[in-house]
Amino acid sequence: MDIPDYLHPNVAEVISIEFDAAIRRAQWAVVLGLVPKKDGEAWCVLLGANLEEGVSAFGSTPEEAIYNFDKAMRSKSGSECSKEAP
């Protein structure tokens, strides 16, 4: 790929941004269109009717809740993080 000389200093940064964006788009909460909701002092991502029946995760920030939800979806039981409200 021919990259103009004036862009060379920025190529690594652009590649890093694109890589990070691709990882975020592949997270379960993003794929499923789930939105973190404030639950007391924590943020919660929930897939299902309620905490007992669904898959859920908590975090101190929306991004942490989405990350924990991704871990929960990848775990065998689907509830790895659901009981861990901070």
Read off φ and ψ for residue 8, nearest 5 degrees.
Answer: -50, -45
Q: Which residue has the higher pLDDT, 78 or 25?
A: 25
Q: Is the dihedral of CA 26, 32, 38, 41 positive or negative?
A: negative
pLDDT at 1: 63
pTM for the complete prediction? 0.67
What are 37-56's pLDDT values in tens digits?
999 999 999 999 998 889 99
Order of strands, edge to edge, in the sheet holding 55-59? 37-39, 42-47, 55-59
pLDDT at 15: 82
pLDDT, the chain, mean:
83
Read off φ and ψ for residue 57, nearest 5 degrees.
Answer: -155, 155
Distance CA 50, CA 59 (A): 17
Q: Is the dihedral of CA 47, 49, 53, 59 positive or negative?
A: positive
